[in-house]
Structure formats: C-alpha cells, structure tokens
Chains A and B, each alone.
Chain A
Amino acid sequence: MSMLEMRQVTKRYGHGPTEVNALRGVDLCVDPGELVAVMGPSGSGKSSLLTIAGSLEAPTSGEVFVGGADLLAMSRNETARLRRRSIGYVFQDFNLLAGLTAAENVALPLELDGTSVKVARRAAMLALGELGLDDKASRFPDQLSGGERQRVAVARAVVGDRRLLLADEPSGALDSENGEAVMRLVRAACSRGVAGVVVTHDAQLASWADRVIFLRDGRVADSTAAVPGPESLLTGGRPS
C-alpha cells in the first residue's frame, strides 16, 4: 500500500477574476521507503502539493490518502493527530518554536500526543544524537546555526513513528554543504522505510531522490527516475 496517494487533486485559490488554479488533477503515489523530489518553476504548485499531502490545507477536489486514511473524511482534530503521529514536515525556514530548546522542539509532537515528558525527552535526545546534535539539545533555536536548526527540524519530523516525511525546500536557507547534509538525513530516514517527498529547485539535491516529478502550471509535466546521486557511486547502487 502506498504511504501517500493523491488522486486527481486540484486546488483553486480565490474566485472570480482572482482565481488561481494551483493544482490541476495531480496524481501521485509514494511508497514506504521511497523518496520523491518535486521540481518545477515558481507558481507551479509544488508547495500546494506538499501542504495538501501534509493535511495543512484541503484540496478543492480529488482524493488524498495517507497510510490508507482518507484525509478529506477526517476532522481538523483527526488530521492534527495524523500530523503528530504519521507525518513529519520540514520547512525551508525551519519553523522551530522560539521558546523551546532543541530537545523540547523535537519532543513536542510526542508530548502533544500524550507521551510523558521523560519518555518524549529520551526519544528526542536519541533523535538528536543520531543527527549529531546531542550537545546542542539544551540550546534555543536562536543559539543554533542555520544547518543545526534544519537538522533539529528534521529530527522533529522523524521522531516517533512517522511514516511520511514532507520537506519544502529544506535546503533553501542553507549553504550547499549543509543542504547536502540535510538531504543525507532525509535519505537516511527513507532508507528506514519512511516515504519522503521533497520540494526543491535544486537538481543536485533532487538527485538524492528515487524519482523526480516535474510540475508546470499545476500539472505533472513529467515524471522520471532521477540520476543516481553522488553517494550511489560509493554504495554501488541506491544512495543510502
């Protein structure tokens, strides 16, 4: 079963003379362990696709399933619960909560889901440790560099039982080195069975994906398997 399935999804903003068709009948399936990159020019509907997949907004028409669950049939609270438990979201500008430390930011989705502070903190420390940030756990976001913040955001997106990782230009605010590092983390998460969708302008970063789809004017203009990324040379196959 696909982790993410979008069928004939359309999204319209505004009405009358201000109407904009952001998505026009988009189909997309992402299997567990698969990483899909979404590319396209500005205004092609990439971010709309991601926000709809992440249940942050509803499509105008079409169907969206996450782990087999129909998003359109869910209430706001149910989609919120889905985001806590199954969907991890990484934003271009990190979106870490300023009043919480790195560890607290990572632990927050778990605590919101009812996990005790102690257990959630332990899981957060584990996630941060795997990303090499265990020594920065008690720092606030404004005490971290851009790359560190995005790594914390990735840790928050994958902590717990997340099955779908959505990243909107995750390296957009980072230099190329940090951008590559973030993509490596996303790739690593997918290798553990997480389905990933990454929106990016950068073909170099898209090369980390198993598949790349191109959006133009709200439609899937092309879909192709990406050229194996640089690390595939080291592993002799799929990047890991």
Chain B
Amino acid sequence: MNGATTALPRSANGGRAARRALVRWSVRLFRREWRQQLLVLSLLTLAVAATIVGIAIGANATTTVQAELGSASHLLTIDGHASKLSEDLDAARAAFGTIEVISHQDVVVPGSVAPLDLRDQDPHGAFKHATLRLVSGRYPTGPDEAAVTDGAATALDVQVGVAVRTGDRTRQVVGVVENPLNLSDEFVLVPTGQATPAAHVSVLAHITDEQLTSFHTIDGTGLSVQSGGDVTSSQAAAIMLAISTVGMLFIGLLAVSGFTVMAQRRLRALGMLESIGATDRHVRLVMLANGAVVGLVSAIAGAALGLTAWLGFAPHLERILRHRVEHVNRFDLPWWALVATMALAFLTAVVAAWWPARSVSRVPVVAALSGRPPDPQPAHRSAAVGALLAGGGYLLLFFWRSTAPMLVAGILATTIGMLFLAPVAIRALAAIGGRAPVSIRLALRDLVRYQARSGAALGAITLAIGIAATIAVADSSMQATADAAAPNGNLRDTELVVYLGRESTAPIPDASATALATAQASAQQIVTAVGAASAITLQAAINPDAATLPPLGNQPGGRMPASLAKVKSIGNGTSVQIVSAIYVATPELLASAGLTADGLDPAADIVSPRDLNGLQLELGRRDPTVPKVQVYDLAAYTSEPTTMISTASMQRLNLQPITAGWLIRSDSALTSAQISAARRIAADAGLTIETRTTTGPNGALGTDSTTIGALIALAVLAMTVGLIRSETAGDLRTLTAAGASTRTRRWLVGATAGALGLLGAVLGILGAHLAVLAWNHGRLGSLAHTPIANLLMLIVGLPLVAMTAGWVLAGRQPPTIARAALT
C-alpha cells in the first residue's frame, strides 16, 4: 500500500487540499452536532435580531425637532402680539422665499388649566404637511369648521359633527386629525387665517444660517428660532453607534463563550487531528470554520427574525415612540446598516472563534487526547491588562464620548477590560468561599479550574446585566430629571391639583361657605375618581385691603393671591411678572414637604427649597416686599407646591388665608381616563384641574430591560454551567463513591450557577453605574435615583433563580456520567 502513494504531490502546509478537508470536517461536525450549538446559535441569532430591530427603531424614531419642523430647516416663532407682525411676515417672505406660516391661539379647555393649541395649518403646506394627517372626516374649509386630534376631542368632549366653542367662535367639528410625527401633539385645526388674534406665529423655511442671521423682526423683539441642527442627529448617531457597538460586543462575548465551550468539547478530536499531523494552523482553521458557519447561520436567521419582528412589532412601537411608524414606511430602513450588521455578526463570530482556537491549538497533543483543559493562567496578568483597558476605555468615554471613533474605542476597551478582569473576580469569590461547605467550595474552585470558559461566560453575563442595569439606572435618572423639570407646577404623574380659580396665580373667587362646600364635594369626587386616598387643602394668602378683581374673558374674578414675582422698573413705572404661586404653610402642606411647624424660622417669610434670588412678594400693594427666605432640603421626589408663606409672616404682613384648591396624590400614575374624568367633574363644578403636562420615562423600560437582561444572563449560565459540570463528571462520581448524596450534587450545580450569576450581577451593576457616570461627565447626581427594585432583581433575584434552577435540574444524574469510569 505504501507504493501506491509514494509519488503523491505534497505542499509544505497542506495548501488548499488540507484547508478543504478541514472545512469539510468542520461543516460535517456542525451538521452532526448542531443541537449542542443550538443555545449559542439561538443567542447569536437573537442578538443579531435585536440589533437589527434596534437599528430599525432608531431609523424610524423621529425626533421632536422633526415633529415640529417637518421638512423645513428652521422654525421661527414670532410673538403674535408683536406690533408689526404682518410686516415681519412680509420681510420673512422677502428674505427666505418660500415660507409656511402657522398661527397659534390658546383655547381654554373647560375644567383644565392647560390650554389647547388652535392652529391654522395648511394641510398642503410647503414644509409641515408631514406633520398633519387626516384620521377621519375631512379637513376644515370654512371659518366655522374645525378638526381636532383625539386628545383634543376628549379634552373638549366633542366628536365629529358636534359644535365646539373655541375662542370667540363656535365651530363645527368636521374631522379628526393627528400629527403623525408626534402623537402627543394635541390641537384644534382651523383653516388658514382663522386663528386670529394669534398668540404666536410659526414661520417655517428652508434657509441657510446666513439667511437666518441677516433676518430681524421690525421692532427687533419677539423672535425665537429652532433648527433641525446637527447636534440632535449627531447625538442620535452616537447613540446608534453605541447600541451597535455594544450589540456586536455582546454577540462577540456570547460567541467567545459558546466557542470556548465547543473547543473544550472537541478537544479530544482536535488532539486526534494533531496526532495524525495537523499543525496549529489546521486546528485553528477547524474552529474558525465552525465560527464562520455559526456566524453565517446566525446572521441570516437573525436578519430574517429581526426584520419579521420589526414588521410585526412596528405598529405596537407607535405607542412607545409616540409617532406613526407606517407614516415613515416600515421598509424605508438603512439597509446598508442591516447588511453591515450581518457582515459584522459573521465577522464577530469568526473573530470570536479565534481566541478559543488559539487556546486549543496550544494545548499539548497528549493533554488534548486525554481531554484535559489547559492549566489556568495566572490571574494577575489578565487583571493588569483588564484594569489598563477598562481604565483607558472609561477615560475615553468620560472625555471624548461625542467623538464617534473614541466612543467605539471606549466601549470596546472598557468591555474587553472587564473580560480580562473576570478571572480575578472568579478567583476572589473562590477565595472568599474557602470556608464554605464542600459542595460550594468545590463549585467555586471548578470555576477557577475552568476559568477559560467561565471567564468568557462571566463576561457575557456581565455585559447582559450591565446593559440591563444601565438602561434601568438611566431610565430612573431620566425619570427623576423629568420630574424635576416638568413645567406648570412641577407635578408628578401621580398628582393632580384642583383650583377654585383658573390656575395657581389667577384670581381666587370669593366663594360663599355653601359654594366652597360644593367645590370641596367636587374635589372629593375627583379624589374618588382617581383612586386617591385624600386631598390636601391648599390655602393662598390674600391681602384683605386689595380690591376684588372683576371677571376677564373666561377668567372669573376674585382676590389675587400672594405670589412671587420679578419686579422691574420701566421708566416711571414698574413691570411685575408673576413667577409662581405660594401657599400657606399649613401643617399638612408642611408635612407633605417633609417639614414641621417647629422647624420653621420665626423670622422667615417664605420657606422654599430654592433661594428665590431676585424674586419679591407680590401682595397687590404699591411696593413689593423682599421676603426673608428659609431654604430647606427637599426630600427626593417631592413636588410642588413646595414654596410656602409662614403663618407668622402672614401676621406680620397682614395677610389672610383663603382656600385656593386641593392637592390630590394617588399611589400610581394617573391614567388619561382618570384625568378626563377629573376634568369633567371639575368643569361641571366650575373648577379647573392641573396635571403633569409632559410624558417622561415611566419606569417600564427599566423593568423590561431588567427582565430581558436577566433572561439572557440565565441562558448564558445554562450554556456554561452545564458544560462545566459535565466536565467535572468524574468529581461527581468520586463524590458519589465517597458517600455524597444527590443533595451534594444539587448544591454543586446550584452553587456554580449562583456564583456566576452573582459575580455577573455585581460586575454588571458596577459597570452600569460607571457608564452612566461617564455619560453624564461624572455628575454624581445622575446616580441619585437608584432603581432599587430593578437592581435587587438582578443582584439577588438572578443568582437565586440560577441557583434554584441548577439545584432542581441537577437532581437526576445523566446516564453518561453514571456510566463513566472513576478517574
């Protein structure tokens, strides 16, 4: 037989023939063992799908600026009361060429403090046509017609075919419209030229910055400008880039984890291959080919799944994005980005296979043939590299996050650094567990013994938890920021204020005892309607010497409450601009702000969380009073009214209390139905209500991300723990032979899963906080609102679930282990 092959041609490294043989074997192995790779395949497919859905959402998530500007480049808002408004508009036409003018009027909503926007937008306007859509009925054409949005219809309690009183005129509702780019934009639409007198005028134009700079209103005042500038788009691009980078990193870590498992499973076969003359390069090729096959299958399956999910899920996303998705065209996606994602996923899988391939090719042949994993590397080396990378990456994120290459480099360096730090964490935990019971001690030491795969798995778990925790922490931080920044009384989404007057700083009607009792009964009805427990009475301070104001338009007459104002001298007179209302510091209002009457400075006029510099007490007297302010620390999440006038000050200033309204607090966020019910009750009783006017993050995002992150981490744990425990089957047999019970086996598996889960949660949460801190340029305040429940779910719930699952599933010893020989 030797003679048959004596003259066979040979090349030094085997050449194409060798590569073909190895790729063939690798593909054959994949086909035979695809079930063993199902978990990593599924996770990679899901990661690709999630990235593609993320990109699709990002591409369709129009900004509020787009919702305002449509296809124009700039929006100029001119004060409607400007004396030379028509001249200003003529000048704008002359300077900019084509412009679109939309006039806005504020329409009183019965029972509500917040007015509605009445606008005379042309449905076929030059720029803003994308921001108007007819839902049903038709557009208004005559002066006595109007169309309304859903929210406006609810607020005004009208429908198509019903007449509605808007401003000084009654109009017939002929259609329902919406702003498809911002479904929160509630308004009443009237034909062009019918919103007069205008409170303000929007002028849309597609112009250059130079054209804008050269434009001024006739009197030089009352102009504000908004542009679809590059800042917003570059921020969106940076976020998209960050999502893609983290997504790909996660795919990479998952793949490294999965391929490390696969390399260990194939260690003997690869040893066999080496024993018949395969070089290190040949061994690496087998693993890389496997990575390529897995990457290709995942990329194709993930893209198909992602696109299907996007198409099916897009309509539901409208609720989250608050704009119509179909309006943007679901197929109008950045296809290059999707193809790039697939290519990157493929490349990532190949690159991820390289590291385990390199490791396994370095295992001595004899060790590989016996299936022995390589000895763990000293942890301090990887720790030094990890600390260097993580530290460097963090600095990049901290200082240069707005530069795309630096952002990517920062995320990459930080994440890879964490991967290198994983072995140290594993060893530290093993050292801590040195005195634990034998099953837990053994589990922790096995994590160290098999740190190549436990380290990669820990990296993937940490990243999954890190992403989830980052979203939860950022969401909580944004929610708190939104709470603090919410306009019109700074109310939380759980609060509602009922006013006897039009609003907080408007005149308060001189109500008789009977009228007041009726109003109080209505307030109590509202308390019941919103499911609140009780209401706090708000008392304003009035100057008894001041005259009662007569009714003005829709505004009832009454006594002006004491308020805080900015007072300026203009010529011989003064200009008083009321800034905010103040209420009497009653014991219950003080308690709601976390204060007591005993804690008040007797000399102070006002207690407030702000120093109120430049503000004066407006009491309807000739000379405004400069108050002495006692500043106090506001407890977290406490909202307005927080500025109060002390009773001692009222005596000094000769003021009298008068009931102004009621503050109602519910345990949960008020729904639109509850708000509508409250508004109807208020309108019927001649009262008005105020609720939060903006919709910020509501915490659902943080909870969803926490759940998804925990599930992904559990999947990675299942993949890793199963392998580590199957490779220590010999230990299990030895333990069994030494008299260990099923319970010991259960604890061994449970402790392995729990320990990895705990480490991943700790590192992930730590990383999340650092990421949020870096993103906010080190502002510690951004971490002030920790989502305790979400983080507890990750740091306690995840390890417990992992441990319990491991404990339960380890009950039955697999036959392959039972039959294995003792070593």
Contacts and interface: CB of A to CB of B under 8 A. Distances in A.
Nearest to A80: B279
A192 B2 contact: yes
A160 B5 contact: yes
A56 B28 CA distance: 26
B10 A115 contact: yes
Interface stretch (A23-31, A64-72, A93-101, A222-230): A93-101
B6 interface: yes
A112 B277 contact: yes
A115 B365 CA distance: 24
Interface string A153-167: 001101111100000
Interface in B545-582: none
B9 interface: yes
Interface in A152-196: 155-156, 158-162, 192-194
A161 B2 contact: yes
Contact of B2 (A82, A87, A96, A158): A158
A112 B477 CA distance: 59
A109 B22 CA distance: 11
Interface in A109-142: 109-117, 119-120, 122-123, 126-127, 130
A80 B279 CA distance: 5
Contact of B366 (A57, A109, A194): A57
B279 to A, nearest CB: 4
Contact of B9 (A115, A126, A155, A192): A115
Interface residues of A, number: 50
Interface string B1-24: 110111011111111011011100
Contacts of B6: 161
Contacts of A83: 274-277
A82 B1 CA distance: 19
Contact of B280 (A51, A77, A82, A116): A77
A149 interface: no
A111 B365 contact: no
Best-buried of B4, B276, B366 by chain A (most CB within 10 Å):
B276
A164 to B, nearest CB: 12
Interface string A18-58: 00000000000000000000000000000000010010110
A216 to B, nearest CB: 22
Contact of B29 (A57, A99, A104, A162): A99
Nearest to A109: B276
Pick from B6, B17, B32, B278 the residue with the most CB of A within 10 Å. Answer: B17
Contacts of B275: 54, 56, 83, 89, 91, 95
Contact of A112 (B2, B272, B278): B278
B376 interface: no
Contacts of A7: none
A179 B813 CA distance: 35
Contacts, number: 142
Q: Give the one of A112, A113, A115 with max B CB within 10 A.
A: A112
A211 interface: no
B89 interface: no
A84 B277 contact: yes
Please indicate which of the listed interface residues B1, B12, B14, B369 has the most CB atoms of chain A within 10 Å of its own CB: B1
A159 B1 contact: yes
B282 interface: yes
B21 A108 contact: yes
Nearest to A123: B5
Q: Please report whether the interface of chain B is mostly helix, strand, loop or mixed according to DSSP.
A: helix
A194 B2 CA distance: 10
Contacts of A51: 365-366
> Chain A binding site: helix, strand, loop or mixed by DSSP?
helix
B364 interface: yes
B269 interface: yes
Given A56-B275, A120-B17, A99 B25 contact: yes
B269 A111 contact: no
B11 A112 contact: no
Contact of A115 (B17, B25, B29, B272): B17
Contacts of A126: 1, 4
Nearest to B281: A77
B108 to A, nearest CB: 78
Contact of A56 (B12, B20, B365): B365
B277 A156 contact: no
Given A95-B272, A98-B32, A99-B29, A114 B14 contact: yes
A89 B25 contact: no
B14 A113 contact: yes
Contacts of B9: 114-116, 119
Interface in B249-281: 268-269, 272-281
Contact of A123 (B8, B12, B364, B369): B8
B277 A117 contact: no
Interface in B480-501: none
A93 B446 CA distance: 28
Contacts of B277: 80-85, 87, 109, 112-113
A37 to B, nearest CB: 21
Contacts of B15: 114
Given A85-B277, A95-B369, A161-B6, A112 B18 contact: yes
30 contacts: A51-B365, A51-B366, A56-B275, A56-B369, A77-B281, A84-B14, A84-B276, A84-B278, A85-B10, A85-B277, A96-B272, A98-B29, A99-B28, A100-B28, A104-B21, A108-B276, A109-B276, A110-B5, A111-B18, A111-B20, A112-B21, A113-B11, A114-B10, A115-B9, A115-B17, A119-B8, A155-B1, A160-B2, A160-B5, A194-B2
Q: Which 6 A-B pairs have the closest CB atoms?
A: A84-B277, A114-B11, A111-B21, A83-B277, A99-B28, A123-B5
Interface of B: 1-2, 4-6, 8-15, 17-18, 20-22, 25, 28-29, 32, 268-269, 272-282, 364-366, 369
Given A54-B275, A100-B25, A160-B5, 15 more contacts: A80-B280, A84-B276, A85-B10, A95-B275, A108-B276, A110-B5, A113-B8, A114-B9, A115-B5, A117-B20, A119-B5, A119-B9, A122-B4, A161-B5, A192-B2
